Chain A
Amino acid sequence: MNALVAPEPLPATLDPEKTALLARLADGLAPEQLYWVAAWSAARAGQVQRGVAPLESPAADVAAARLTILYGSQTGNAKRLAEALAGRSESGGLPVRLVRADAYSHRELARETQLLIVISTQGDGEPPDDARGLVEFLLGKRAPRLPGLHYAVLGLGDSSYPQFCEVGRQLDARLAALGATRLAPLGEADVDIDQVAVPWAARALEQARERLGRAEPPVVRAATVHALPARGAYSREKPFAATVLANQRIVSRESERAVHHLELSLEGSGLRYAPGDAVGIRPTQPPALVEQWLQALHLDGTQEVTHDGRTLPLAQWLGRERELTRLSRAFVAAHAAASGDADLMRVLRKEHAASFAQLLASHQPIDLLRRYRAAWPAEALVAALRPLTPRLYSIASSPRAVGEDEVHLTVARVAYEAFGMPHWGAASAFLAATGEDASLPVFIEPNERFRLPAEDRRDIIMIGPGTGVAPFRAFVQDRRESGARGRNWLFFGNRHFTRDFLYQVEWQEALKSRALHRLDLAFSRDGAHKTYVQHRLRERGRELYAWLEGGAHLYVCGDASHMAKDVHAALLDIAVAHGGHSADTAREWLADLLTQGRYAHDVY
C-alpha cells in the first residue's frame, strides 16, 4: 500500500471557521470520496497558480477530465476488480475515481463522460445490495438521457445460475438505450473471472485513455492517492494454511442435515477479521467423487494433463483445480456437443429456459456424464471445466471473544441422494470431513456492508435461520465483549427444536447474562403446521417496528432463494400494519433503511 504522508501542520493557513467547515465537509465521506476531494483541491491549486478562473462546478470540470469506475459487489469480487482497474488506470496516467455504487450520487451521472461499471449478479438475478439503488435509478423512469457518456460494463456471475450475469446485461443494454456509447462490449465473467475480465479491462481502459488522452495531463495525478486497501501476506490468490482446532457436529444424531462447528487457527497469518466478514476456503473435491468421474469417463487419474502451461495428473486437476459439482451452461453445451444428444441440445435453446433452469438445479455434472454418454479426452475435459472457486462461510466468532488468531465457522454439509447415487457439496463435505490438526487453505473476505452499528447504543435485530445464525454468534460475542449498550434481538429458526437448535446452550447463557435480550424461535417441523422466522416477525411486528423507529439496525443472514424474500415481504407487511404505511411508502421506508445501512444482508 502506498503510505499517505500526513500534511505538515501549516500554522495559520486556515482560519478556524474554514477549518471547521472543512471538517464538516469531510465528515462521513467514504475514503474514495475523501481522495477525490484531495484530488480536486490539488487540481484547484494548480488552476489557481496558473491564474485560471475558478470554475462554477468542480464536478463538471473534473468529471469531464476523468474516468469513473463504479462497482456493485456482494462478496467482494467486483470490488477487487474495480480496485485493480483503478490501480492500473492510475499507473497508466488516467485521472480516475473509484466509487462504490451506493456512495455515488445519481445526479452526477449526467455529467460523466467516461464510465466503467463492474457489477455482480446476486440472488436470483438481482443486484448486489450496494447497487440496488443505482440499478433501480438507471432502469427507472427518472434516469436521464446520456448522449455524452462513454461506458463499458463488466458483469460478474456464475453460469450455474439460470440468470447468468443478468444485472450486467440489464445495465449494459439500458445505458445504450439512454443514448450512451460503448467503450467495449459487455463482459460476462463466469467464476473463472479473469478469463473474461482481463481482456475486457484492457479494451475498456485503452478506449477510455484515447478519449481522455487529449485532456491536459491532469494535475490530479500528483495528488491522486487512491483507495487500494491493505493486502496482507495471504489472500484469495494466496490462501493461508489454517490448522483445524476443532470440528464438531452441532446438531443431534437424529438430525437429517449435518451442521458442523469449525474452529480454525490463523496464528502467524497476519490475517485479521471483523464480525460480518466471511472466510473463503479452497476445497478439495471428495475423492469418491473424483473416482466417480474417472469411472464414468473411463479415464486414468494418473495420466498427466497440461493446461495453461501447467502439468498435473488428471486426478489432481479434477480433485483440486476444477468445479465438479456445479453445473454450468458452458459445460452443458460442451457435453451436449460431445454426446450429440438431441435432448440436451434442445434444452439449451432459449424457449426451454425453464427446463434448463430445472436441469441446473437438479443435476450435478456427474449426473449428465452418466445419463448422456460421451467420450471426453482428458485435456478437453480439463479445458471445458471451470476452475474450482473458493466457497465463503460467514464468520461465527468475534476476535474480541476468541482472540485474533482464531476464527469459527458454521457449516451445513451438503450431501444428498439423487439418481440413486450419493452427491456431495465440494466444500461443505470437505469441511465436515476434515479431522482436527488438518490444515485448510483459507483467506478472509471482508464484508463492509454487514457490520455492527458504529454507535454501540443502537439496538440490533438479527434474523438468521439455519446457518444464517453464524454471523450473529459473532455479533453477540462482540457486543458482549465490547460492553455495547444497545439491545440484541435474535430470530432463529430450523427444523426441529431438539435436533437443530444451533448453539442452543450458548444462546441460553447469553440470555441469562443479558448479552442477548430477546430470542424468538421458529421450528418448522415440530408443530402441525410449519412456522418460519417470517411468521415470528409478523407476530412481533409491533415491537419490531418500534425498535426500528428507535434506530435499530436490522440484519438478515442465510438462505437467499426463499427466506430473505419472505422476510422482506414480512417487513413490508409490518410497516403497513404497525407503521401506518401504504404499500408504496412501506417500500420506500425499507429502501431507505437499506441505503442508511440499517437493513443489511448476508444471504446465499
Chain B
Amino acid sequence: MPALSEFELVKERSRQLRGSIAEGLADPVTGAIGEADTKLLKFHGSYQQDDRDLREERRKQKLEPLYSFMLRARLPGGVVTPAQWLVFDRLARDYASSGLRITTRQTFQWHGILKNDLKPTIAAINHAMASTIAACGDVLRNVVSTPLPMQSAAHAEAYAWAAKLSEELAPRTTAYHELWLDGEKLVGEPEPEPLYGRSYLPRKFKIGLAIPPLNDIDVFAQDLGLIAIAGDGRLAGFNLAIGGGMGATHGDPTTYPRLAEVVGFVTPDRLRAAAEQIIAIQRDWGDRGERRHARLKYTLDRRGTDAFKAELERRLGFALEPARPYRFEHNGDRYGWLQGGDGRWHLTLHIESGRLLDRGERRLLSGMRELARVHTGDFRLTCNQNVIVANVEAGDRARIDAIVAGHGLDGYRRQSAIRRHAIACVALPTCGLAMAESERYLPTILDRLEAQLARHGLLEAPILLRLSGCPNGCSRPYLGEIALVGRAPGRYDLRLGADFAGQRLNRPYRENVDEPAILDALEPLFARYAAERSPGEGFGDFLVRSDVLGPARQIPAEGIA
C-alpha cells in the first residue's frame, strides 16, 4: 500500500470533520476558508468555489477571487414537500446567485452563497427538516431512487428503503450541529464513527435504487446499484450491482468509466446489512494512496469481483441469492401527465439542465413557487435534472396546468426529443474542475443539432445527448448516445454509441474537436440513421449495429448480461 494521500491525513487530523472550519468562517479578511478546510467542508455539503468568469478581472483589480459556496441538499429519493420547496426557494432568492439547481442525483444545489450567509442557509435547510450533511465528501452520498411512483405500493416500499439507507448510513459526527446549528462545542475526544472511523471512506460512495422498467437513475453508474424486484405487486427484494462509476481523467488509461456488475440478490430485510458491509469492505480495501484509483470500481478490478463477493458473504455470514431477471426500457424521464396505480396523477416537467431561474418569459423559479403554494401532494426531483409534480388529485390538474403554462414550464410539450432528454453538468463558471462550457453551452449546441436533425426529419427521434465540461462525467456522459466531454474551452471529445437504457457505455469517436468538427462528424451519421434505421431502433443501437464505431474497446466489465 503506498503512502496515504494528503487528503487522508487531513481527514484523520480533522477531529471528525471539524478542522479549523469555524475559524475560517470567522475570518473577515477573506471570503474563503482554509485550504484544508475546503476539503472537510464537502462532508458538510458545501464546496468552496469562485466565479471563474471574474478571476482575471478581479486579479487586476487587486481583489481576491469572488469566493462563494455551493451548497447541496441531501434529499433521499428526491422527494420535496411543498413547504420545503418554499423554504428552498426563499433561500435561493435571499442568498444564492443563480436560483435553484436540480442535480443529476435528484437534489438541489444553491450556488454563489457568500461565506457569511452559509450558516443561516444551512440552518434554514435543517429547519425545513432536510439536511446537507454528507451531500458531498468521502461518505455515502444522497441515495437516489426512481422517483415516478407508478406502481404505488412497491414504489413506496422501495423509496422507504432508499430513505432508510440514506439516514442510517450517514456519518454520525456532531461537528455538523456544532458548526451550523449552534450545537454545543465538543470538549475532549470526538464521538466515534462506527461505520466510517476517523478517516471515512477512501472516496465518495453512491447508492442508487431503480424500479424496472425505469432506469432513470442510471443504476449501473452507482457504486452500489439496487434493482428493485417486484413479486405480485409487492417488493420482493433487490439485485445488487456493484462497481459502477463514470469519472475518468483525460490521457490516463488507468482511469475509466465502468458499469456496475450484478452480483446477486437480497431480500429487503438483508439489504441494510449487505449495503453496510459493501461500504465497509470498500472502506478497508479501497486505495487511500491515490484518489484517482480510490473508487470501488477500481478496488474490484484490482482485487477481483469474486474475491470481493467472497469477502462480502464472509462478513455477512450468508450467501447472496442468484440475481433475479429484470428488464429496463430506458433511462430517460416520461414527460407529461401519468396516472399511478392508486389513481393519482403525476406531471413530469422538463427543466433545461435543471436550472430553475426566472429568465424573461420562462419564469421557472416563480412558476415552481406558485405550484408549491397550491400543490397538495409532493415534488420529486429526477436524476435527469427534471421535476415531477407528484400525487395530484384529478380535480387539481387544470389549475396546475394553468400555472405551468403561465410560467413557461410547459417546454416538454413543444421541445424536440433531443432537447427534452439532453442533460448537461454545471461546469463554468462555478465548477472548479471544468475544462469547457457545459450547462451554458447546451442551448447553443442543441439549436445546431436540431437544425441538422430537422434536415433529416429526425426532430422526433429520441436521441440521448449528454454534456460534461470535463471527464469526471457528472452528467453521466459515458451513457449518452451522443456525448460531449470537455477538454478545453470550445473543445470536446465526441463519444457515441450508448444505448438509451443505461446498459452500454459509449465510445470515443472524435477526440478534442471543436463545434464545426463535431457537426461535420455527426452529419453523415444522422443521414445514415434516417435512411437505414430499423423501426424503433435507437441512434446508439444503430451505430453499433451498422458498425460505425468499429470493435468495442475493452473497458473492464463493459455491458452486462
Contact = CB atoms under 8 A, between A and B. Distances in A.
A498 B66 contact: yes
The 6 closest A-B pairs by CB, nearest first: A250-B61, A505-B62, A504-B63, A250-B62, A521-B28, A503-B62
Contacts of A498: 31, 63, 66, 114
A253 B29 contact: no
A506 B63 CA distance: 9
B58 interface: yes
Contacts of A506: 62
B295 to A, nearest CB: 36
A508 B61 contact: no
B12 interface: no
A508 B59 CA distance: 13
Contact of A511 (B29, B57, B60, B63): B29
Q: Which DSSP category, helix, strand, loop or mixed, fits chain B's interface? A: loop
A282 interface: no
B191 interface: no
Interface in B49-91: 54, 57-64, 66
B29 to A, nearest CB: 6
B58 A508 contact: no
B30 interface: yes
Contacts of A511: 29
Given A250-B62, A498-B63, 14 more contacts: A248-B61, A250-B61, A252-B58, A252-B61, A252-B66, A253-B54, A253-B57, A497-B28, A501-B63, A503-B62, A504-B63, A505-B62, A505-B63, A521-B29
Interface string A188-214: 000000000000000000000000000
A504 B62 contact: yes
Contact of A505 (B57, B64, B66, B114): B64
Contacts of A504: 29, 62-64
A66 interface: no
A490 B72 CA distance: 37
A501 B31 CA distance: 11
A498 B60 CA distance: 14
Contacts of B31: 497-498
Nearest to B68: A498
A489 to B, nearest CB: 14
Contacts of A253: 54, 57
Interface in B206-237: none
Nearest to B59: A505
Contacts of A505: 59, 62-64
Contact of A519 (B29, B54, B61, B62): B29
A372 interface: no
Contacts of B30: 508
Interface string A502-526: 1111111001000000010100001
B29 A508 contact: yes
A502 B58 CA distance: 11
A261 B54 CA distance: 19
Contacts of B54: 252-253
Interface in B112-169: 114, 116
Q: Which DSSP category, helix, strand, loop or mixed, fits chain A's interface? A: mixed
A128 to B, nearest CB: 33
Contacts of A519: 29
A249 interface: yes
A504 B54 CA distance: 15
Contacts of B114: 498
Contact of B60 (A248, A497, A508): A248
Interface string A379-405: 000000000000000000000000000
Interface of B: 28-31, 54, 57-64, 66, 114, 116
B95 to A, nearest CB: 13
Interface in A470-510: 497-498, 501-508
Contacts of A521: 28-29
B25 to A, nearest CB: 14
12 contacts: A248-B61, A248-B62, A250-B61, A252-B61, A252-B66, A498-B63, A498-B114, A503-B62, A504-B29, A504-B62, A505-B63, A507-B29
A261 B62 CA distance: 10
Interface string A244-259: 0000111111000000
Contacts of A508: 29-30, 64
Contacts of A507: 29
* Most A C-beta atoms less than 10 A away, residue of B58, B61, B62: B61
* Most A C-beta atoms less than 10 A away, residue of B29, B57, B64: B29
A521 B31 CA distance: 13
A248 B114 CA distance: 26
A252 B50 CA distance: 14
Nearest to A502: B62
Contacts of A252: 54, 58, 61, 63, 66
Interface in A410-462: none
A505 B62 CA distance: 6
Nearest to B67: A498
Nearest to A248: B60
Nearest to B114: A498
Nearest to A505: B62
A507 B28 CA distance: 12
A504 B158 CA distance: 53
Nearest to A516: B29
Contacts of B116: 526
A217 B58 CA distance: 69
A506 B30 CA distance: 12
A597 to B, nearest CB: 30
A217 B66 CA distance: 73
A519 B28 CA distance: 9
A236 to B, nearest CB: 31
Contacts of B60: 248
* Most B C-beta atoms less than 10 A away, residue of A498, A503, A511: A498
Contacts of A502: 62
B430 to A, nearest CB: 15
B116 to A, nearest CB: 8
B61 A249 contact: yes
A511 B27 CA distance: 12
A452 to B, nearest CB: 23
Nearest to A499: B63
Interface in A248-303: 248-253, 261
A161 to B, nearest CB: 34
B96 to A, nearest CB: 15
A363 B63 CA distance: 35
A232 B66 CA distance: 45
A414 to B, nearest CB: 20
Nearest to B30: A508
A301 to B, nearest CB: 37
Contacts of B28: 497, 521
Nearest to A526: B116
A249 B63 CA distance: 11
B333 to A, nearest CB: 38
Interface in A540-586: none
B537 to A, nearest CB: 51
Contacts of A249: 61
A360 B63 CA distance: 36
Nearest to A511: B29
A250 B63 contact: yes
A251 B63 CA distance: 8
A508 B30 CA distance: 8
A519 B31 CA distance: 15
Contacts of B61: 248-252
Nearest to B61: A250
Contacts of B58: 252
B165 to A, nearest CB: 40
A253 B30 CA distance: 18
* Most A C-beta atoms less than 10 A away, residue of B57, B62, B64, B114: B62
A521 B116 CA distance: 14
Contacts of A261: 62
A522 to B, nearest CB: 10
A64 to B, nearest CB: 60
* Most B C-beta atoms less than 10 A away, residue of A252, A511, A526: A252
